[in-house]
Amino acid sequence: MGRVVFVSAGPGAADLITLRGARRLAEAQVVLFDALTDPALREFAPQALWVDVGKRGFCHSTGQATIDALLVRHARQHEVVVRLKGGDASVFGRLEEELQALAAAGIACEVVPGVTAAIAAAAHTQRPLTRRGTAGRGGRSVSLTTAMTRQGQLQAGRHADTEVFYMAGRQLGALGRALLRVGWPQDTPVCVVSRAGWPDALASEHTLAGLAGAALLHAGRPTVVTVGTGAAPVAAAPRTPSSAQALPVAAAGRAPAAA
């Protein structure tokens, strides 16, 4: 009986994986990988059998029961099986279902944490999700939410100083209207980042009333929407491009100039 290691690959480029994650990946005989993980991660485990079990919204996806069964089967045949998940496995990664299936089969597990998309988006735009605050307005709380429920219904609320919505690319206009209905002011700052963590990440800034204007700019790209305190630009902060050459933030839905 082998063991399953849940390795969080981080969002986007392969170099966002943690050192521990890379080491566990190198030990694997089998890797069950998600759709949004960087193909360059195969270089860490060229000896392994790589099995595509990707899930994508509104696209063909591998069923959860199938993934659970594959994990159990391979763990009974191999010493180390890696379940490679994009972002952080514990944030909207269906980790609970897979842990339950392995526990029922008596298979040992390990979970390796990683960078989640909300953190990658904040890093790309240099906008901290928590702020010490000025003029009595702080940013002490952050909420991570999927834009859609499991039943396909849009969900919006006002639970924290900063709200980060995952998987929101197809609902930007509707999300903006829903947030206005629950009491967010029209001039609330919003930052939209698509393909956070990749070299071609794209960011734009808006007010909540104009969020629908981001839809065309980010169409067809995995998108994270940050609303509230953490979406506001940092005053007078010098911008230093990262080694991945972070793109400038587009204003009011306009695409940034080519790098």
For residue 213, give both structure tokens.
């204007």
Task: For residue 63, count CB atoms less than 10 angstroms from its CB and return exposed for 0-12, middle for 13-18, buried for 19 or more.
Answer: exposed
Could you tell me if 72 and 105 are in contact, meaning their C-beta atoms sit under 8 angstroms apart?
yes
C-alpha 227: how far from its chain's center? 16
pLDDT at site 47: 95
pLDDT at site 154: 79
Taking the C-alpha atoms of residue 188 and residue 67, their distance in angstroms, rounded to an integer, is 40
List the chain domain ranges. Answer: 3-112, 117-251
Q: Which CATH architecture best describes the domain 117-251?
A: 2-Layer Sandwich (3.30)
Q: Is 167 among the catalytic positions?
A: yes
Taking the C-alpha atoms of residue 27 and residue 59, their distance in angstroms, rounded to an integer, is 31
**Which pLDDT tens digit goes with each residue over 216-245?**
999 999 999 999 999 999 875 445 544 333
pLDDT at site 51: 96
Q: Which position among 1, 34, 148, 187 bears the catalytic label? A: 34
pLDDT at residue 90 is higher than 60: yes
Q: According to CATH, what is the number of the domain 3-112?
A: 3.40.1010.10
**Which pLDDT tens digit goes with each residue over 21-63?**
999 999 999 999 998 899 999 999 999 999 999 866 545 578 9
pLDDT class for 106, splitting at 50, 70, 90? very high
**Which pLDDT tens digit goes with each residue over 199-219?**
999 999 999 999 999 999 999
Largest CA distance in the chain: 60
Point out the least confidently predicted range of 106-115, 136-145, 170-179.
136-145
pLDDT at site 158: 85
Q: Is 55 among the catalytic positions?
A: yes
Q: Which position among 38, 88, 148, 167 bears the catalytic label? A: 167
pLDDT at site 139: 77
